Structure 1
């Protein structure tokens, strides 16, 4: 899967197998990346694809040595379902 970091739009972008664009908006503050919104095409229900996109974003955050602050319910839910990524949360953030 290819994730594009669109710095102009401040979002990570990925295309599903049927060509639909899934994006995750972000903002930076200090050494933290705030994942603020998940944008899905209308009637898009491939939760596995969304989870794979978020896993790739976690790998990017880890590579850049960033802490991840999930501000969107879908992203918080991802952290609950995938406790292996909880080490990327900043101190004091509990999900």
Structure 2
């Protein structure tokens, strides 16, 4: 992926974050409840997973949630939890009080 910019869309109707890169829809499904957003099913090709797109996509999502403020994340998907652990210092305020990943 040449361009570092991810054009993130919060598709509230389908409850998923989306981006489209070279005609490939990359998405992360979520559900929300009481000021928490549960990040669950990630759909991304192996090629995009390994070329840096996955990290850029998740960074865009986490930054978007951080900017919204007062919302906490619960990373239920394996890739999302792994990303959170790797970036815990930057996003630790997003985790609900008392939860450890």
TM-score under structure 2 length normalisation = 0.83
Contact 1:21–1:41 (CA<8 Å) still a contact in 2? Answer: no
Matched, 1:55 2:59: yes
Contact 1:38–1:74 (CA<8 Å) still a contact in 2? Answer: yes
Matched, 1:86 2:92: yes
Stretches of structure 2 lacking an aligned partner (at least 5 in a row): 1-5
Against the structure 1 CA distance between its residues 2 and 37, is the aligned structure 2 distance closer, same or farther, given a 3 Å change threshold? same
Give the drift of 1:19.
2.3
Moved over 6 A (4+): none
Stretches of structure 1 lacking an aligned partner (at least 5 in a row): none
Against the structure 1 CA distance between its residues 44 and 51, is the aligned structure 2 distance closer, same or farther, given a 3 Å change threshold? closer
**Paired positions, count:** 94
Q: Pairwise CA RMSD of aligned residues? A: 1.6
Contact 2:26–2:43 (CA<8 Å) still a contact in 1? Answer: yes
